[in-house]
């Protein structure tokens, strides 16, 4: 090969490598900066709202005292309004209701009958808010509980904030069975560069209930239930052109655990922008939603995404 041609080839190669390296470094630096601002640790339950009814005070609690679009753990504490001590309570229920600007009412995935936790003297459940409060509608919580054979009911408007933690994003879609599904990421709140336990809730709108005639909401509603025995196949990728459709080893598909949630492993090999590509299979192995993505390493090209995916960032 001509020496001058060889030198020009080397210069071009070095230039391209420098551009790629700078691109990766710049994007990674941007992601590091954004990660510090959008990902927060959520470790403490605080009061979201307090409501008095008769002789009782009800505290609605959530992590950091805020309800977000997506999966929320919720606690209710029911106290004597004078002594502020816990009350012997039975049959505690919680029903989130969204009212659209048209007046139409709907609910979202949630635990209707709450579990009593004697160690903390509170009732626990969850709600997956499918939208924040605002132009799409307003949210209320309809709560009922029984004390000494007398049932009390109340409705409290609450504010659902936009989800700022992209690691807790969600997806809502129609499956191949024409049913409405919701997949909500539950954990980790703040991933590490390592193998992380990935937890998600998977729900289907397949049950209608008729509310009591005297219920102020006054209509029947579709309820969501957690799907049983499904599999959520996982293929995590870094879709940015500078990352070349990069994936990682040792990931595990999500299967249902004893808590009703779906558990798997996602291995993040670096911080940045990742796409969790999914294929959802029902309990008979039929594909409900999702497609395989190419596994080729494609630097400089935006990576393809599954028909079913959730973007995250840490």
Backbone angles phi, psi at 287, to 5 degrees: -75, 120
E strands along 188-219, which residues?
195-210
* Model confidence pLDDT, tens digit, residues 6-58: 434 434 333 333 334 333 333 443 444 555 555 555 579 999 999 999 999 99
Interacting residues of 158 by C-beta distance below 8 A, sequence separation 6+: 48, 49, 60, 67, 133, 139, 140, 141
Assign residue 65 a region (left: φ > 0; alpha: ψ between -120 and 50; beta: otherwise).
left
CATH number at residue 124: 2.60.40.1930
Are residues 101 and 49 part of one domain? yes
Q: In a structure prediction context, what are the per-residue pLDDT tens digits for the chain, which is 314 residues long?
A: 444 444 344 343 333 333 343 333 334 434 445 555 555 555 799 999 999 999 999 999 999 999 999 999 999 999 999 999 999 999 899 999 999 999 888 899 999 999 999 999 999 999 999 999 999 899 999 999 999 999 999 999 999 999 999 999 999 999 999 999 999 999 999 999 999 999 999 999 986 666 655 555 555 567 899 999 999 999 999 999 989 888 999 999 999 999 999 999 999 999 999 999 999 999 999 999 999 999 888 888 898 999 999 999 98
What sign has the CA pseudo-torsion 229, 266, 69, 173? negative
Q: Which of 161, 196, 230 represents a domain boundary (last residue)?
A: 161
Distances (CA, A) of 43 to 64, 73, 310: 7, 11, 24
Residue 36 counted as domain residue: no
DSSP string, 128-156: EESS-SBTTBEEEEEEEEEETTEEEEEEE
**In this predicted structure, what is the pLDDT of residue 104?**
87
Give the structural domain span for 249: 166-313
pTM of this structure: 0.85
Residue 231 CB neighbours (<10 A):
19
Helices and strands, number each (H, E), in the chain: 1, 21
Long-range contacts of 29-37 (CB under 8 A, 24+ apart): 31/271, 31/272, 31/273, 31/313, 32/271, 34/313, 35/271, 35/313, 35/314
- Could you tell me how far CA 312 lies from the centroid of its own chain? 11
Tell me if 232 is assigned to some domain: yes
Q: What is the pLDDT of residue 210?
A: 62
Number of domains making up the chain: 2
| Residues with Cβ within 8 Å of residue 242, at least 6 apart in sequence | 20, 23, 24, 27, 299, 300
Does 292 share its domain with 182?
Answer: yes
pLDDT the model gives residue 5 = 45
| 276 DSSP β-pair partners | 236, 310
Does the residue 177 lie in any domain? yes
Phi, psi values for residue 34, rounded to 5°: -70, -35
pLDDT at residue number 168: 97
8 falls within a domain: no
- Residue at a domain's end among 137, 161, 185: 161
Strand partners, 113: 93
């Amino acid at each position: 090969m001509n020496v001058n041609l060889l030198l020009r080839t080397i210069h071009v190669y070095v230039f391209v490598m420098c551009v790629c390296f700078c691109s990766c470094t710049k994007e990674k630096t941007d992601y590091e900066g954004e990660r510090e601002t959008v990902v927060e640790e959520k470790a403490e339950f605080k009061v979201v709202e307090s409501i008095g009814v008769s002789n009782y005070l009800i505290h609605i609690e959530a992590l950091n005292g805020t309800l977000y679009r997506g999966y929320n753990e919720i606690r209710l504490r029911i106290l004597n309004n004078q002594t502020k001590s816990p009350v012997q309570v039975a049959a505690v229920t919680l029903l989130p209701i969204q009212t659209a600007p048209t007046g139409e009412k709907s609910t979202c995935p949630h635990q209707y009958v709450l579990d009593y936790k004697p160690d903390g003297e509170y009732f626990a459940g969850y709600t997956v808010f499918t939208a924040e409060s605002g132009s799409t509608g307003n949210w209320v919580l309809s709560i009922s509980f029984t004390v000494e054979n007398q049932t009390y009911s109340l409705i409290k408007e609450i504010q659902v904030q936009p989800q700022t933690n992209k690691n807790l994003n969600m997806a809502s879609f129609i499956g191949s069975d024409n049913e409405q599904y919701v997949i909500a990421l539950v954990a980790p709140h703040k991933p590490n560069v390592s193998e992380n336990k990935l937890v998600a809730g998977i729900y289907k709108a397949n049950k209608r209930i008729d509310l009591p005639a005297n219920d102020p909401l006054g209509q029947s509603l579709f309820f969501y239930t957690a799907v049983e025995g499904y599999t959520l196949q996982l293929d995590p990728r870094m879709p940015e052109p500078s990352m070349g459709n990069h994936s990682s080893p040792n990931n595990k598909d999500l299967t249902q655990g004893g808590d009703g949630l779906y558990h798997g492993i996602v291995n993040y090999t670096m911080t940045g922008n990742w796409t969790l590509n999914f294929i959802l299979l029902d309990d008979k192995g039929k594909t409900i939603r999702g497609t395989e993505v190419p596994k080729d390493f494609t630097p400089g090209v935006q990576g393809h995404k599954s028909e079913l995916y959730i973007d995250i960032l840490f």
